[in-house]
Chains A and B, each alone.
Chain A
Amino acid sequence: MIRIVTLSEFPPDVIDFVTRRLHAAYGMGCELEGEGEIPNAAMDDEQSAYDAVKAVDDMDDDVALYADDKILYLTAEPLTAPAGPMGRGPVDGYAQYGGGKAIATAHGISDRGVPLEIGLAKRAAHYVGHLWDLHHCFDPRCAMHPGWSPGFAAYPEVALCLFDREKSERKIKLGST
């Protein structure tokens, strides 16, 4: 089961759209679990965005996760991530690879000319994919394609490529539930 927790206000039809698309992409149940707040400690040093890694790790929620349940936080706040070897780049979410928690933001979707519900659903599918150990994909139409590339706006459908679909199916079948 994929459980969604909203950390900002979203129109109900957008959340409904996201849950349906996640269900279609992974074949798992998906439902809105409730609302929450990003911990203030996750604010980065410049006080301009939330550190996505800290936000997920320090999130204080009482959502009960059973076996391979996944929890996805949706926010509209800007996110950032620790600097890596390439410095800082665009960040639209974070996922614990092979773990249980991920976060995706709606920030910046409108700037790319993509409708909110489609952009958010695509990002949600992307980060849930990382929870199932999927890596980035070179196919620009796949939801696992990097979110900053031109494929995000050029192919707005929310779907996985055949390879990622099969890989996620294998992972889900091996899951303890």
Chain B
Amino acid sequence: MATKSQEPVIGDGSLHIGDRVVYPNQGICRITGVETKHIAGQNWEVVTLSREEDGATVMVPKAKVMGIGLRKVADVAAIDRVFDELSTPNLDPQLDWKVRHRENADRMTGGGLFGTVEVLKGLHALSRVRPLPQKERELYDNARHLLVGEIAAAMNIPLHVAEDNLDYALWPPEGMTRKGKALPPATLGPPSPARAAVDDLGFDDEEMGAEETTTTAAAPAAQESDDDEEEKEAAAPAAAKKTAAEKPKAAHKPEHAPPRREKPAPAAAKKAKTAHAPAKKPAAAKKAAARKPAPKTPARKPAAKRPVAKAKAKAKR
């Protein structure tokens, strides 16, 4: 049961129905109304929001609107200060992951514009030193997503233009200036180590001689992965070695992280099976042997089978 009230006061009175607001960690929303919901035997006044990105409905108890950090979309002057901040290089990223994690979590939960900027800038500076771990990579992407959305909403520009501008500040191209001051052009950062497993797109046998150009950068990574595979092969049973040596490509492909390909050719699939099957069998056989001791006496055999065995033996004679 829901009833709509008219001209309600939301938060400290600065928010109104139809306003575009920023919900911490969710992005840009529009206030669609205030409703009274009957939940668990109590009447709750909730503010309903519609997330612009996907139209999802978010309901916030009216009393908690200010507590969760709901705020209006930043104005143009604030966005200008954001770009001032972004275009100042951060040369001292926080290297202690515990401190960094706590600070970044607080900033994101707070939902402030400049908190998000600091998260993005700090992680960007760290990414120039070394690749980010998975969780921080996600945080970096979330911060970027929220910031791009807010810049686009505040400046009324497309999201793509907002992101390009964000990166003109973070990775300045040649000749980029900010308020008359030239920004130092971006330099090459460290590549992610996970790339070694992903590089092979499986076009080895294809056209245009692209290998000549692409392998120059990927060569060290490919060599590393080859070395790893050699070590693994050395540890594998001799039977697996033989089949793998016969079909080296088919044996190596499944070891790599999966470049997206639709379906492997049937022949390649067969090769892969033959190359892997023997490696698994000995281990499985050993386990089975460990669990079930071999029957020593024929006394365990069911009595019903005896006549059959005898009959067979007679037939052989």
Interface residues of A (CB under 8 A from B): 13, 16-17, 20-21, 24-27, 53, 81-82, 84-87, 89-91, 94-98, 115, 117-118, 130, 135-136, 138-142, 146, 148-151, 154-163, 165, 167, 169
Contacts and interface: CB of A to CB of B under 8 A. Distances in A.
Contact of A118 (B159, B213, B257): B213
B137 A163 contact: yes
Contacts of B127: 138
A85 B160 contact: no
Given A84-B157, A162-B257, A150 B186 contact: yes
Given A82-B161, A169-B260, 4 more contacts: A84-B168, A85-B83, A86-B83, A150-B187
Interface residues of B, number: 66
Given A135-B145, A138-B124, A85 B155 contact: yes
B164 A81 contact: yes
Given A20-B206, A24-B259, A135-B141, A115 B213 contact: yes
B162 to A, nearest CB: 7
Nearest to B216: A156
A89 B168 contact: yes
B260 A162 contact: no
Nearest to B143: A135
29 contacts: A27-B260, A53-B161, A84-B155, A84-B157, A84-B162, A85-B83, A85-B165, A87-B176, A91-B164, A97-B163, A115-B213, A117-B208, A117-B210, A118-B213, A130-B160, A135-B148, A136-B167, A138-B128, A138-B140, A139-B191, A141-B195, A142-B192, A146-B167, A149-B171, A149-B173, A149-B186, A149-B188, A157-B201, A161-B192
Interface string B174-192: 1011100000001111011
A156 B213 contact: yes
Contacts of A91: 164
B169 interface: yes
A157 B194 contact: no
B79 interface: yes
Nearest to B131: A139
A25 B260 contact: yes
B78 to A, nearest CB: 11
Contact of B218 (A97, A139, A149, A157): A157
B167 A141 contact: no
B263 to A, nearest CB: 11
A150 B186 CA distance: 7
B155 A163 contact: no
A85 B210 contact: no
B134 A163 contact: yes
B289 interface: no
A81 B152 CA distance: 14
A150 B195 contact: no
B16 interface: no
A156 to B, nearest CB: 6
Given A24-B261, A89-B168, A159 B201 contact: yes
Contacts of A24: 201-203, 259-261
A4 B290 CA distance: 59
B117 interface: no
B262 interface: yes
B26 to A, nearest CB: 15
B214 interface: yes
Interface string B206-224: 1110100110011000000
Given A84-B165, A95-B160, A149-B186, A90 B217 contact: no
Looking at A21, A148, A151, A156, the one whose CB has the most chain B CB atoms below 10 A away is A148
A97 B168 contact: no
A96 B141 CA distance: 18
A89 B164 CA distance: 8
A175 to B, nearest CB: 13
Contacts of A150: 186-188
